[in-house]
Structure 1
Amino acid sequence: MSEWPVLKALPSYGRGRDAAGGRFASLIFGTNLTDVVVTGANGTIDGQGAFWWQNFHKGKLKYTRPYLIEFMYSDNIQISNLTLLNSPSWNVHPVYSRIEDSYIVSGDDCIAVKSGWDEYGISFGMPTKQLVIRRLTCISPYSAAIALGSEMSGGIEDVRAEDITAIHTESGVRIKTARGRGGFVKDIYVKGMTLHTMKWVFWMTGNYKAHADNHYDPNALPVIQGINYRDIMADNVSMAARLEGIEGDPFTQICISNVTIGMAAKAKKVPWTCTDVKGISSGVSPRPCDQLPDQGPEKITACDFPAEPLSIDRVVLKSCTYRMKYT
């Protein structure tokens, strides 16, 4: 471990994710790159992460664990036809991305969308936006299929997710933030989710209190608005939704439509809990909380999902060929 290269902390984080210092370099790392293809013809990268996890849990790491693949300040990066196993930490850390045809088994969020931590993310000011997630299958018993935050201080905007399957997963789409984060999560569009054996279908919280340090501004309030969910089928669910905004800073413009949730045999007696949220619903069963009043069947497609493609949708996937020479 003493020979492993160490990098500075991400500028939008101000410190390491695991420790106050910087971070160990990722196995595959690049910065300021253009037109890079990482492809494996269905090959496997095994990060052999047990060593890192053991030292992390024993508190022996002075720096944040490495990722398998990380690209910074780069354009036109393609990662395809690979199986990633046993990462020391995150598997892939990309920005401005299209994530398609993925099968993920994880002990944490299958996909986590982030943009900086507290005052460092606010100062750096680089939002994550125009992200497309399609045809994702996730198994994550203790976390979410897709998580937005909790480090979202640079802003998260215009995320589109469709054709998502989650099995034995704690929640479908999770939004995490807190006082002191600042930033925003807005214009989020989700449609076509199939969920089996879930703790929650919808979970939003403004009470996720982990902070980078004690220098954050407690008056920096996040803006959570324009959250759209539609066309969702779920079964064996313990609780339909847990929606917790921030007192004095409610989550607004929430829209949920055409959703059928089959409750588990030992489900909670009250399927929805809602505080400090505002929005509408249509064609949702079981009936949502009063903060999301039903607009009637004529509004069943009320929740937006943009038809116009993003620029990332126009990117054509590339392939690489090579020949080995034997002497």
Structure 2
Amino acid sequence: MPDPLLVRALAVESDGVLSLELVDHAGRELPPWEPGAHLDVHLANGMSRQFSLCGDPHDRHRYRLGVLREPSGRGGSAYVHDVLRPGHTVEHLGPRNHFRLEPSPAYLFVAGGIGITPILPMLARAEADGAAWTLLYGGRTAASMAFTGELARYGERVTLHPQDSHGLLDLDGLLGTPRADTLVYCCGPEPLLRAVEQRMAAWPADALHVERFAAPDQPVRDPASEHEVEVVLAESGRTVMVGPDTSILQALLDAGVDVLHDCTEGICGSCETKVVEGEVDHRDYVLTEREKAAGDCMMLCVSRACGTRLVLGL
């Protein structure tokens, strides 16, 4: 794991949202990142969380994260808000990016709540590239919507839409008609993502890019509908059998194989692993349809094999 990062500053960005500024303790440059990237932050209370980088990718001496207090969460955001202070250090991994901004002459950005964080550097990149773009940004209340001061410089390209005064976002007006040469980037709570996906059913398959904070509610999978899988680790030649009631990730961990992982829900990308041989039954929410079709990587926590054998780059 890299050297811990130093918390240099905390700032209140809105009701319930703090920005967190992290730097190298010796003032060295930090690893580069691109819009859409996130940092895996490992907290002293034993929890690990992914937070989107929302600063300037050209500033190699600091990372900025936006953290929403989640009253019903598992305690990670509460720790940041209540315990973490300037002068503290945090362990981390990354940056890693599964929400990359692909080149396009035009973009529609849709953000809900804390989903504005990965969108912020995307706007700056789109602006610098001379692309046509607009942002529709919704929140529960105006006071809960973070970083609106920074967004003001973009003028009419940005539409702020607090739900308590403006109602629900007009997604039909924004997305009802497919637009040529336009990519849509959306981040926010699951109801927003589902609504955007529904309204983009007639758009080209690769037009929509989303980032999820949690996996959608899904029926519990029945082990009776699964099958045993032989997983071969290419680097060691070792074989691990995965039963129908066990994930590939859990089987590897039980066998003593050290695999990087976190969410176990197919949304964070931590357990992404190279596939050397075999067809994957992709069940994650990270890879694009094109990446899934390529079949050269998989998320071990939720995805399985179409057949009975997989060879992994482990």
Band of TM-score, shorter chain:
under 0.3
What's the TM-score, normalizing by structure 2?
0.23
Normalized per residue, the structure richer in helix is 2
What's the TM-score, normalizing by structure 1?
0.23
Normalized per residue, the structure richer in strand is 1
Structure with the larger RCO, 1 or 2 (CA within 8 Å, 6+ apart): 2
